[in-house]
Amino acid sequence: MDQIKMKRRYRLLYGSTPPALWIGALAALCLLLCILSVSGQIAGADLALALGLTAAATALCQGLRRLGDGRLGFLGVLVLAAVIGYMCVELVSLGDISWLSEETPLLHLVGFPWVLGVFLLAYAAVGRTRIALVAGNFVLIAFAVVSYALMVFRERTLLAADLFSLRIAMSVADHYEFPWEPHLFLGLGLWLVGMVLCWALAGPVPGKEARPGRSFRITSRLLCAAFVAVYAFCFYGTYMLARSGLWLRWDENDFAASPLTNFMYSIRQLGAQEPEDYSQENLAALTGDTEGLTATGEEQPHVIVIMSEAYSDLSVLGDFETSEEIAPYFHSLWENSVHGYAYSSVFGGNTANSEYEFLTGNSLAFEGSSTVPYQTAINYEKDTLVSTLKAQGYSATALHPYGADGWNRVQVYDLFGFDETHFIDDWVKPKKLRGYITDESDFDKLIELFEDREPGEKQFLFNITMQNHGNYNTENFNPTVTITGHEGEFPLAEQYLSLLQVTDAALQELIEYFSAVEEPVMLVFFGDHQPRLDDEFYDYVFGEVSGERSALDRQKQYLVPFLIWKNYEEDSRDLGTTSLNYLGQLALQEAGLATTPFGAWLLELREEYPTINAYGYTDESGWNELPANLELLPERLRQYWMLQYNYLHDATGYDKAFFGTVGATG
């Protein structure tokens, strides 16, 4: 019985297959490519090249199978699998296949070895051609499908930092409707046919040696792994990309047309780039003369911060009318608050990055837009707005009506020094909307924590809401707002705007409560990012399609409103435009509280560079995009980079005095 099983397994892994199978699969593959050409998903020149590469790889495979004893046949099979896999990753992820690029002609030449590398590593791991085909294709299909979903929801393919976000993505996945586009099925169909072709060609040629010897298998596996290692060194450790004319800019990603290449390049963003002149001596020269600002207020107010999920004012994008006013109460507060707009570094997601910038005073400008420091860099105690307030006698509580495992917050909040944290399980019978706890119930919990304070206790409450989280196509929610003249054309936008009305009513109840509180209270309210809505809506409000918008117009999608309201004084001031990395220090200043030397340094930096985010900054000349090489930044911003590198990445040389010493509290 065991011998029968062994023979079956041997035939499956090494047995030859009829020529008709691979010939039929090759014909079907070519037919599918021609169908894709008719449907517009592969251009004529790309089709010709795709057919040519497929034919050449098939010929190479057949030639290697018949060369000598046929042992090199595995290499031809893996090359053919990579050619087909490269096309399928593009088709599933992006909706089309491209082998030619006028802007970056070497992109696909640089990208193809990564797809080949997946199969070579699979072969190096198992030493069996057909098993390597299955394993390699499984990895590529999983990558392509996830990239496909991200393209729909975020307009980008999978990046390395997203691997740290898989848990939070899965936790909210049931609130999204997975899209089933035709190119997904066409891509998977092309993959299936390609798998059959490669599987058939992986069998030995009749009359040739059926199974390579042990020494050959060991040598070939080592050489496959060595090829990937050498290519990785060239990709990451040399000037190969620069000499190929490939760059990653804030508004133009040369790698985006090759999804796996884009992913591999994004790995570079996980490792911090150290400034060339970074040293403890230069750091001391920069921080030595800076002191924290002293407290100026007569009485410390309670500090309540609400970072409202996806809260924004879409009128910053362009003019459009709605059937009802969206946030009348919020805008009425501007008559009695310090207010303005702030640049976020994220759009449509990655809330933790806005949270990180606000609490730390750091900027994603020096970490990369795809990086999530909560997941990759917060590994020991850090001084933040939390420690600054606690040094002045405050208690610190964080609350978020969702799962505790999101964005590694449990560890981060502990390292930031929060005394208490409250997550979804701490809400008892809350109201929900679209499956999320409403802002009304969220604010009720905030009031409950405020009322439970000890006599004489000064509270810092940091609240992240959840009600307005995407997606915005929930069937059991009836929008109350329509876009005048375009009713029903932009359903995601209309549902989102209707949710803002719900937030506005809840905010009014919250402000009315704190207006009646006798103790001084300062409330900071701001959005973490703008939502991801209908592409057609953005084309409408901007008046032009995405590819035709200016860099400055695209940055409008990163603007969020903020206000700082106090129940103990009337103060109406417009701070204009700032960014989230400054907002925490501005809040301290408005409360009359002391800051650290770093906080004082940031407020001084803001005078020269009022805004900075992951994509650019403003100075007296206007908007400037970040250079690809951060060493080309203006001197003052390079100093900011040096300070942030010390804060995040220099565990032994961390300047505790600069980041943690609070000025005189009076």
* pTM, full prediction: 0.76
E strands, 400-511, where? 420-422, 432-433, 436-437, 458-464
Distance between CA atoms of residues 291 and 293, nearest Å? 6
Cis-peptide, bond into residue 471, ω within 30° of zero: yes
d(CA 29, CA 300): 72
pLDDT class for 251, splitting at 50, 70, 90? very low
- Model confidence at 350, in pLDDT bands (50, 70, 90)? confident
pLDDT grade, residue 167 (50/70/90)?
Answer: low
SS3 state of residue 85: helix
Query: Which pLDDT score, from 0 to 100, does residue 11 have?
Result: 47
Lowest mean pLDDT of 133-137, 403-407, 539-543, name the range.
403-407
CA-to-CA distance for 507 and 194, rounded, in angstroms? Answer: 56
Count the helices and strands in the chain (H runs, E runs): 25, 13
Residue showing tokens 């040598």: 219
- DSSP states of 610-629 as a string? -EE-SSEEEETTEEEEPPSS
Q: Which residues pair with 616 in a beta bridge?
A: 625
Residue 99: DSSP 8-state: S
Listed ranges 37-41, 146-150, 305-309; the one with the highest mean pLDDT: 305-309
Task: Find out whether 382 and 606 touch, Cβ atoms under 8 Å.
Answer: no
Per-residue pLDDT for 625 more than 50?
yes
- Return phi, psi of residue 125, to 5°: -80, -40
Judge contact between 305 and 384, C-beta under 8 A.
Answer: no
Which part of the chain has CATH 3.40.720.10? 299-660
Note whether 533 and 347 are within 8 A (CB).
no
Angstrom distance (rounded) from CA 13 to CA 7: 10
pLDDT of res. 519: 94
Q: Angle at which helices 182-201 and 129-154 pack, to 10 degrees?
A: 170
Q: If residue 579 lies in a helix (H) or strand (E), which one and from where to where?
A: strand 573-579
pLDDT at 249: 56
The angle at the Cα of 314, spanning 308 to 315, to the nearest 5 degrees, equals 135
What's the token pair of residue 661? 């010493």
**5 — pLDDT class (breaks 50, 70, 90):** low
Angle at the Cα of 665 from the Cα atoms of 662 and 666, rounded to 5 degrees: 155
The pLDDT value recorded for residue 266 is 80
What integer pLDDT is reported at residue 339 of this predicted model? Answer: 95
Q: Residue 370 pLDDT > 70, yes or no?
A: no
Q: How confident is the model at residue 165 (pLDDT cuts 50, 70, 90)?
A: low
Chain-centre distance of CA 21, in angstroms? 43
Give me the pLDDT at residue 150, please.
82
* pLDDT beyond 50 at 12: no
Give the CA distances from residue 506 to residues 57, 189, 201, 323, 567, in Å, rounded to whole numbers and listed in that order: 63, 49, 65, 20, 17
CA distance 659 to 644: 10
Q: Which spans in 276-416 are helix H?
A: 280-287, 328-332, 351-360, 373-376, 385-390, 409-416
Q: What is the tens place of the pLDDT at every residue in 589-601?
A: 999 999 999 999 9
Q: Which of 157-161, 255-259, 617-621, 652-656 has the highest mean pLDDT?
A: 617-621
Residue 392 has pLDDT above 90, yes or no: yes
- What is the mean pLDDT of the segment spanning 504-526? 96
Query: Percent of the chain, pLDDT > 70?
Result: 91
pLDDT in tens, 635-657: 999 999 999 999 988 877 888 99
The pLDDT of 346-367, averaged and rounded, is: 91
Predicted pLDDT at 380:
78
Maximum Cα interatomic distance, the chain, rounded to a whole number of Å: 94
Span 326-344, pLDDT tens digits? 999 999 999 899 999 999 9
User: Given this model, what pLDDT does residue 17 score?
Assistant: 59
CATH number for the 299-660 domain, one of 3.40.50.10490, 3.40.720.10, 4.10.640.10, 3.40.605.10?
Answer: 3.40.720.10
Mean pLDDT of all residues in the chain? 88
Instruction: With a cut of 70, say whether residue 576 has pLDDT above it.
Output: yes
Q: Express each pLDDT in 604-614 by its tens digit.
A: 999 999 999 99
- pLDDT tens track for 446-493: 999 999 999 999 999 999 999 999 888 887 888 999 999 888 889 999
64-68, 340-344, 622-626: range with lowest mean pLDDT: 64-68
Helices (H), 67-102: 73-94
Of 161-175, 220-234, 298-312, the range with the lowest mean pLDDT is 161-175
User: How far apart, in whole angstroms, are the C-alpha atoms of residue 129 and residue 78?
Assistant: 8
pLDDT of residue 168: 60
Query: What's the pLDDT at 209?
Result: 55
Confidence of residue 267 (pLDDT cuts 50, 70, 90): confident
**Average confidence (pLDDT) over 70-75:** 84
d(CA 636, CA 645): 14
The pLDDT of residue 516 is 94
Give residue 105's pLDDT.
86
Helix (H) or strand (E) holding 398: strand 394-399
Specify the amino acid at residue 34: C
**In sequence order, what E strands does 231-370 have?**
302-308, 338-343
Amino acid at residue number 333: L
Determine which of 170-184, 258-272, 361-375, 646-660 has the lowest per-residue pLDDT on average: 170-184
Look at residues 420, 387, 310, 311 and name the one whose alpha carbon lies nearest to residue 657: 387
Report angle CA 163, 167, 172 to the nearest 5 degrees: 120
The mean-pLDDT minimum among 289-298, 390-399, 519-528 falls in 289-298
Instruction: In whole angstroms, give the CA distance from residue 562 to residue 344.
Output: 11
| Rounded Cα–Cα distance for residues 417 and 480 (Å) | 41
Confidence at residue 14, expressed as pLDDT on a 0 to 100 scale: 46
Q: Report H helices in 543-634.
A: 551-555, 580-591, 597-608
